[in-house]
Amino acid sequence: MPIHVSWGNAEKTYTCFTYTGNWTWAEYYQSIEQGYALTKDLPHTINILLDLSEARLFPTGLLTNIQSSMEHPPRQFTVAAIVSTSPYVMTVANMIDRVYGRQGTQFKIFKTRAEAEAYLAEYDRTPNALPKTTSVPATSLPPPSV
């Protein structure tokens, strides 16, 4: 599968979604379901690392699917650390951060996975970070847009 889902650290404070090659929106929504299965029983906020460094072009419908994901997240998060050197991904990430950052969700772009992991580790250590415990919304995933 071109999207691999795993824990990002032993403390289980973030999940990692690693994209390789070409992928589809059906695979994207399947990875969200896998991420939710990992995190559903934990009471604290679980952040996200999206490693797009080995991904190819996005499937069509990027903005529609991201909007759908943000409006119906299977689980709340406060930080999405995105790994990519693509100017396109950087532009999209900055746009999403401007829109959803006002709601308390941060989208941060990093050129390397090590930088993203360091940021998330520092976020976890920061006493002034947003609350670590939130209620988990009982929403279901929206159907994939094809």
Place of tokens 């996200």: 48
Q: Could you tell me the residue ranges of all domains in the chain?
A: 3-125
Question: Quick one: pLDDT at residue 16?
Answer: 97
Q: Is residue 140 over pLDDT 80? A: no
Which positions ≥6 away from 50 have C-beta within 8 Å?
Answer: 17, 19, 80, 81, 82, 83
Mean pLDDT of 92-102: 80
Question: For residues 121 and 130, what is the distance between their CA atoms, to the nearest angstrom?
Answer: 14
Give the 3-state DSSP-derived string for 5-43, with helices as H, strands as E and coil as C.
EEECCCCCCEEEEEEEECCCHHHHHHHHHHHHHHHCCCC
Residue 68: pLDDT band (50, 70, 90) is confident
Domain 3-125 belongs to what topology? Answer: Transcription Regulator spoIIAA (3.30.750)
